[in-house]
């Protein structure tokens, strides 16, 4: 079965939160050395809560869809709750099984989020 | 006329394909990643197995029968390889783990000795990291510099005969070393290494020249004496041989002069508490028990390639690549960008980017259609930076590929467009 199912294609064609945030309190850049993809993630964290989040950059369908799904999932959530997000949670959002190499694409956005939360 | 010749040729290729058991286990596999590693014919698998089940003794030591047999077969493989590249003697053929180790051996044993402050190492923008990073490392350490020969818009080296640049723009009395690839693993460009080396040595006869033949040795006849280089490196696994074995060929006088790369067993002449003298080449550079089965397997691979005919393999791949480029352009027009030089610089590698689609998505959907290609930077990041792309898709052909594989690639790319829109 193809991994390019409805959810991934929807978020690939219409990525949510694909934006820069002028009022950002946090900004990070991450890279996937395997394919050279770069992802920028920006966020507003106030009063221990992630108020807004956006991402930009280039990537494959899996990395763009996962960034879209993840940013949608974490918005308006207390930072303490977000610290517990696992790779399995991200894969769960994508609703597909991924090979180890494609898993790296899918988890690039999580790496960015973790960096933001540790700042 | 052309059609009938082609058909006859295809029949024999179908026979060749039968000798690769992977196709019996994966009947629908279209394997277009031979530049990464080639598939293995039954004769090579048998040669490796035979060593393990009939005479799996260590070499150069035992007095007993199977040890003699192992030594004989190991050295016979070295002779076959020497003949394959027209080396003047088997002693000039050193077994290594592969191209990367071969190049690192030269860099470490010779490069680091001869490169001093302000000295220059000349290489090209199209090198694989294995023929780039070791030289960059040495140049940096010695406070010398790395001089890069660029490419032209047609993906050939700037110093090729029809170009504006000349080798004299890059080679000077400061140049100590020229490291150049025979065939680019990304662009598939065949460089005129003989002409370039001849021109470079005319300017400065003292420079050491190193040719990365990882993508040449499997695909076209090589004559080290004709090329006129000092060293030439290649890997066994890309030429139907096992993994973990490769070759460094070097001119005997240089090999004699060089310090060993690693120290220990097998590489010594005499050891006392105070001092050690080393064996002659090639053993000086083969410390420890080598990859015996793999060397014997590589010998079998060379026999296999000779039986098919390396020039015939080359022609077959070039034909398939040309056909692929025509089909891709005809089917996808401006939506596909192909990074291939014109003939006669073109080999059996076709690298491209496809519309707005990411190389990983293209490769993934092609895989879902049974087509194996490579996506990424193919260990040529400086080249990709020069081309202004983060990654590309590479289809590479070998002797077992058929025209049907090209059709499947085109059909697979149509599927990419259908899925990702």
What are the two backbone dihedrals, phi and then psi, of residue B176, each rounded to the nearest 5 degrees? -105, -25
What is the total count of domains within chain A? 1
Contact B10, B370 (CB under 8 A): no
pLDDT at residue B3 tops 60 = no
Q: Would you call B91 helix, strand, or coil by DSSP?
A: helix
% of chain B exceeding 90 in pLDDT: 92
Q: Which residues contact B297 (CB under 8 A, 6 or more apart)?
A: B44, B45, B47, B48, B51, B236, B241, B242, B245
Q: Which residues contact B275 (CB under 8 A, 6 or more apart)?
A: none
Q: Write down the pLDDT at residue B163.
A: 58
Determine, yes or no, domain membership for A100: yes
Q: Which residues contact B73 (CB under 8 A, 6 or more apart)?
A: B51, B55, B296, B299
pLDDT at residue A72 tops 70 = yes
Distances (CA, A) of B176 to B103, B105, B114, B145, B194: 16, 17, 7, 11, 18
Determine, yes or no, domain membership for A103: yes
Q: How many CB atoms lie within 10 A of CB B308?
A: 18
What does the mean pLDDT of chain B come to?
94
CA of A12: which chain B residue's CA is closest? Answer: B420
**CA atoms of A64 and A55, how far apart (whole Å):** 9
**CA atoms of A53 and A70, how far apart (whole Å):** 10
**CA atoms of A82 and A74, how far apart (whole Å):** 7
**Nearest CA to B352 among B188, B213, B191?**
B188
B229 belongs to the catalytic site:
no
DSSP-assigned letters across all residues of B223-256? -HHHHT-SEEEEESGGGTS-TT-EEEEE-HHHHH
Candidate list B103, B359, B379, B416, residue with the active-site label: B379
Per CB-CB distance under 8 Å, the chain B contacts of A103 are none
**CA atoms of B186 and A118, how far apart (whole Å):** 39
Residue A60 to residue B360, Cβ atoms within 8 A: yes
Fold (topology level) of B2-31+309-420: 3.90.1150
Per CB-CB distance under 8 Å, the chain A contacts of B385 are none
How much is the average pLDDT of B63-82?
A: 96
Q: Based on the number of CB atoms within 10 Å of its own CB, is B119 exposed (0-12), middle (13-18) or buried (19 or more)?
A: middle
Residue bearing the bigger pLDDT, B112 or B165: B112
Q: Which residues of B262-286 are buried (b: 16+ CB within 10 A; e: fewer)?
A: eeeebbbeeeeeeeeebbebbbbbb
Distances (CA, A) of B30 to B27, B336, B396: 9, 21, 11
Q: Give the nearest partner residue to A4 out of B359, B365, B381, using CB atoms.
A: B365
Determine, yes or no, domain membership for A1: no
Q: How many residues can be counted in chain B? A: 421
Per domain, the residue ranges of chain B are 2-31+309-420, 47-307
User: Nearest CA to CA, how far is B204 from chain A (Å)?
Assistant: 39
Q: Based on the number of CB atoms within 10 Å of its own CB, is B378 exposed (0-12), middle (13-18) or buried (19 or more)?
A: buried
**Nearest CA to B142 among B120, B171, B122?**
B120
Beta strands in B276-373 (DSSP E): 276-278, 336-338, 349-354, 371-372
% of chain B exceeding 70 in pLDDT: 97
Tell me the Ramachandran region of residue B288: left when phi exceeds 0, alpha when psi lies from -120 to 50, beta otherwise.
left
User: Nearest CA to CA, how far is B412 from chain A (Å)?
Assistant: 13
pLDDT at residue B390 tops 90 = no
Q: Would you call A79 helix, strand, or coil by DSSP?
A: helix
Chain B residues at the A interface, defined by Cβ less than 8 Å, are: 358-361, 364-365, 368, 375-377, 381, 384, 390-391, 419-421
Residue A36 to residue B360, Cβ atoms within 8 A: no
Residue A36 to residue B390, Cβ atoms within 8 A: yes
**CA atoms of B44 and B33, how far apart (whole Å):** 19
**CA atoms of B189 and B327, how far apart (whole Å):** 20
pLDDT 10s digits, B329-369? 999 999 999 999 999 999 999 999 999 999 999 999 999 99
pLDDT at residue B10 tops 60 = no
**CA atoms of B234 and B88, how far apart (whole Å):** 17
- Predicted ipTM? 0.89
User: Nearest CA to CA, how far is A119 from chain B (Å)?
Assistant: 28
Q: Write down the pLDDT at residue B7.
A: 45
What is the token pair recorded at A103?
A: 């898993």
CA of B421: which chain A residue's CA is closest? Answer: A13
pLDDT at residue B9 tops 80 = no
Q: Would you call B106 helix, strand, or coil by DSSP?
A: helix
User: Nearest CA to CA, how far is A60 from chain B (Å)?
Assistant: 5
Q: Which residues contact B284 (CB under 8 A, 6 or more apart)?
A: B255, B260, B267, B278
**Nearest CA to A54 among A8, A113, A13, A118?**
A113
How much is the average pLDDT of A97-103?
A: 88
Domain ranges, residue A33:
6-118
CA dihedral B396, B402, B404, B405 (to 10 degrees): -20
Q: Write down the pLDDT at residue B65.
A: 94
How much is the average pLDDT of A56-80?
A: 94
Determine, yes or no, domain membership for A20: yes
Q: Write down the pLDDT at residue B162.
A: 64
Q: Write down the pLDDT at residue B62.
A: 81
Residue bearing the bigger pLDDT, B14 or B1: B14
Cis peptide before B344 (omega within 30 of 0): yes
Q: Give the nearest partner residue to B361 out of A34, A36, A61, using CB atoms.
A: A61
Domain B47-307 class?
alpha beta
Q: Would you call B103 helix, strand, or coil by DSSP?
A: helix
Per CB-CB distance under 8 Å, the chain B contacts of A62 are 360-361
Q: Write down the pLDDT at residue B4.
A: 41
Band the pLDDT of B1: cuts 50, 70, 90.
very low
User: Nearest CA to CA, how far is B361 from chain A (Å)?
Assistant: 6
Task: Residue A94: give its domain's CATH number.
Answer: 3.90.1010.10
Q: Write down the pLDDT at residue B14.
A: 75
Chain A residues at the B interface, defined by Cβ less than 8 Å, are: 2-4, 9, 12-13, 34-37, 58-62, 102, 105
Q: Write down the pLDDT at residue B6.
A: 45
CA of B393: which chain A residue's CA is closest? Answer: A35
Q: Which residues contact B408 (CB under 8 A, 6 or more apart)?
A: B30, B369, B370, B371
Angle formed at CA B374 by CA B369 and CA B378, multiple of 5 degrees: 170
Strand B93-96 with B374-376, pairing:
unpaired
pLDDT 10s digits, B89-137? 999 999 999 999 999 999 999 998 999 999 999 999 999 999 999 999 9
| C-alpha of B77 from chain center | 18
Band the pLDDT of B2: cuts 50, 70, 90.
very low
Lowest average pLDDT, out of A95-99, B26-30, B95-99, goes to: A95-99
pLDDT 10s digits, A12-48? 999 999 999 999 999 999 998 777 788 999 999 999 9
Per CB-CB distance under 8 Å, the chain B contacts of A34 are 376
Q: Which residues contact A83 (CB under 8 A, 6 or more apart)?
A: A117
Q: Which residues of B186-200 are buried (b: 16+ CB within 10 A; e: fewer)?
A: bbbbbbbbeebbebb
Per CB-CB distance under 8 Å, the chain A contacts of B384 are 36
CA of B374: which chain A residue's CA is closest? Answer: A35
């Amino acid at each position: 079965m193809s991994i390019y199912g409805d959810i991934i294609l929807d978020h690939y064609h219409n990525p949510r939160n694909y934006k820069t945030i002028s009022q950002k309190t946090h900004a990070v850049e991450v890279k996937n050395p395997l394919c050279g993809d770069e992802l920028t993630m920006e966020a507003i964290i106030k009063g221990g809560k992630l108020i807004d989040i956006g991402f930009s950059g280039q990537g494959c369908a899996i990395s763009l869809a996962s960034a879209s799904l993840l940013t949608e999932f974490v918005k308006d959530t207390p930072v303490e709750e977000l610290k517990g997000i696992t790779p399995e949670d991200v894969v769960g959002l994508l609703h597909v099984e991924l090979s180890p190499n494609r898993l790296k694409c899918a988890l690039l956005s999580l790496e960015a989020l973790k960096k933001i939360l540790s700042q | 006329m052309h059609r009938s010749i082609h058909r006859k040729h295809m029949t024999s290729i179908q026979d060749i394909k039968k000798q690769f058991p992977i196709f019996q286990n994966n009947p629908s596999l279209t394997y277009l990643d031979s530049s990464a590693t080639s598939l293995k014919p039954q004769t090579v698998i048998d040669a490796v197995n035979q060593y393990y089940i009939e005479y799996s003794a260590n070499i150069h030591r035992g007095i007993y029968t199977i040890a003699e047999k192992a030594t004989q077969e190991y050295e016979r493989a070295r002779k076959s390889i020497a003949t394959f590249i027209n080396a003047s003697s088997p002693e000039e053929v050193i077994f290594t783990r592969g191209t990367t180790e071969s190049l690192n051996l030269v860099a470490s044993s010779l490069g680091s000795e001869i490169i001093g402050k302000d000295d220059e190492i000349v290489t090209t923008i199209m090198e694989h990291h294995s023929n780039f990073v070791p030289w960059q490392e040495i140049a940096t350490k010695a406070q010398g510099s790395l001089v890069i020969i660029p490419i032209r818009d047609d993906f050939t080296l700037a110093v090729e005969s029809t170009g504006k640049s000349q080798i004299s723009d890059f080679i000077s009395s400061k140049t100590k070393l020229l490291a150049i690839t025979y065939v680019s693993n990304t662009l598939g460009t065949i460089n005129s290494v003989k002409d370039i080396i001849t021109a470079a040595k005319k300017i400065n006869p003292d420079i050491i020249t190193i040719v990365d033949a990882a993508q040449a040795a499997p695909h076209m006849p090589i004559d080290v004496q004709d090329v006129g280089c000092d060293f030439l490196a290649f890997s066994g696994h890309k030429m139907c041989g096992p993994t973990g074995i490769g070759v460094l060929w070097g001119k005997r006088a240089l090999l004699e002069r060089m310090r060993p790369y690693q120290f220990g067993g097998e590489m010594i002449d005499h050891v006392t508490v105070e001092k050690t003298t080393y064996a002659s080449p090639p053993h000086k550079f083969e410390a420890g028990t080598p990859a015996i089965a793999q060397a014997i397997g590589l010998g079998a691979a060379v026999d296999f390639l000779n039986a098919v005919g390396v020039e015939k393999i080359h022609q077959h791949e070039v034909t398939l690549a040309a056909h692929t480029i025509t089909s891709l352009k005809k089917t996808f027009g401006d939506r596909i960008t192909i990074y291939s030089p014109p003939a006669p610089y073109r080999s059996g590698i076709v690298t491209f980017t496809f519309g707005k689609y990411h190389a990983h998505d293209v490769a993934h959907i092609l895989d879902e259609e049974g087509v194996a290609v490579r996506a990424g930077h193919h260990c040529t990041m400086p080249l990709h930076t020069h081309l202004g792309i983060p990654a590309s898709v590479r289809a590479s052909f070998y002797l077992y590929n058929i025209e049907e594989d090209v059709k499947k690639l085109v059909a697979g790319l149509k599927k990419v467009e259908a899925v990702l829109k």
